[in-house]
């Protein structure tokens, strides 16, 4: 961990209008929950639907994508990463710091709003803490994967979108096998183990989910470190 790198990264992610994008998505989630609560149209099924499809299924992947690729991608693209890489700071520290910043951002803008949305909705059967923990562990895995993608490829955002939207959502609906390799489903499995609500249906069992979450997070972090060791900075397009 390097406080200077962390501070610079935070400033580049939250500076000026960029933070707006990060506020809009959780803002919509809270607005939706508030409207549902005020019109009194929510029951357990609706609560689960909102928390599962919107908070866990849409807000989390998009925010993790913005945060994960945003902490390192633009710097590699415009060559600014050289100013960090030429300092006597281990590459491992650089990757871990960037990852920590991404995780903090995901926690602030995805996990905390999920908790608030659950509280606003007054979700029964311990759905609120269960989904908050689910979003948190899913967010850590997503952040690690997207930071690694940001180091590996210049098309990181597009590849991330293809994975999160096409693989997890689209293929997941048609081919149930695709759901087994989906971070959202692993997070949902963790959620399922923490609540006794009957409306949560994960596609994988808890031990598999926890193992996969840990393995993917570690593998992505190691991969990012290894790739950053031999990074070639090409000129901007």
33 contributes a contact to another protein by CB under 8 A: no
**Beta carbon nearer to another protein, 22 or 95:** 22
Alpha-carbon distance of 113 to 27, in angstroms, equals 8
49 contributes a contact to another protein by CB under 8 A: yes
141 contributes a contact to another protein by CB under 8 A: no
**Beta carbon nearer to another protein, 49 or 93:** 49
Tell me which of 7, 82, 119, 162 binds another protein, using CB under 8 A.
162
Tell me which of 53, 198, 205, 211 binds another protein, using CB under 8 A.
53
Residues that bind another protein (rule: CB under 8 A) add up to a total of 38
CB of 97 to another protein, least distance (A): 19
**Beta carbon nearer to another protein, 47 or 213:** 47
Instruction: List, in order, residues 6 or more apart from 106 with CB less than 8 Å away.
Output: 60, 63, 64, 67, 68, 139, 140, 142, 143
Work out the angle at residue 89's Cα, subtended by the Cα atoms of residues 140 and 65, and round it to the nearest 5 degrees.
Answer: 25
Instruction: List, in order, residues 6 or more apart from 121 with CB less than 8 Å away.
Output: 33, 36, 37, 42, 47, 50, 51, 128
Q: Which two tokens stand for residue 149?
A: 């993608």
Among 187, 189, 227, 220, smallest CA distance to 205 is for 189
Interface segment toward another protein; rule CB under 8 A; list 1-9, 48-56, 86-94, 135-143: 48-56
Alpha-carbon distance of 32 to 132, in angstroms, equals 17
Tell me which of 80, 93, 107, 169 binds another protein, using CB under 8 A.
169
Alpha-carbon distance of 78 to 81, in angstroms, equals 8
Distances (CA, A) of 156 to 58, 229, 234: 18, 18, 16
**Beta carbon nearer to another protein, 183 or 213:** 183
The residues binding another protein (CB under 8 A) are 17-18, 21, 24-25, 28, 32, 36, 41, 46, 49-50, 53-54, 57-59, 62, 65-66, 69-70, 73-74, 77-78, 154-158, 161-162, 165-166, 169-170, 237
């Amino acid at each position: 961990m390097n406080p200077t790198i962390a501070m610079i990264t935070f400033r580049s992610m939250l500076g000026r209008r960029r933070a707006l994008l990060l506020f809009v998505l959780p803002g919509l989630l809270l607005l939706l929950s508030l409207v549902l609560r005020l019109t009194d149209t929510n029951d357990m099924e609706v609560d689960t639907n909102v928390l599962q499809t919107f908070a866990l299924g849409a807000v989390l992947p998009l925010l993790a994508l913005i945060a994960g690729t945003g902490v390192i991608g633009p710097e590699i693209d415009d060559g600014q990463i050289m100013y960090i890489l030429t300092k006597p700071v281990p590459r491992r520290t650089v990757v871990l710091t960037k990852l920590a910043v991404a995780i903090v951002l995901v926690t602030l803008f995805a996990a905390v709003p999920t908790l608030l949305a659950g509280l606003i909705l007054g979700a029964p059967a311990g759905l609120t803490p269960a989904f908050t923990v689910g979003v948190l562990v899913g967010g850590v895995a997503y952040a690690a994967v997207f930071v690694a993608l940001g180091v590996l490829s210049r098309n990181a955002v597009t590849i991330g979108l293809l994975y999160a939207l096409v693989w997890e959502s689209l293929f997941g609906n048609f081919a149930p096998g695709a759901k087994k390799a989906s971070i959202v489903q692993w997070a949902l499995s963790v959620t399922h183990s923490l609540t006794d609500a009957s409306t949560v249906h994960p596609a994988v069992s808890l031990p598999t989910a926890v193992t996969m979450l840990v393995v993917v997070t570690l593998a992505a972090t190691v991969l990012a470190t290894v790739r950053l060791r031999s990074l070639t900075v090409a000129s901007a397009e």
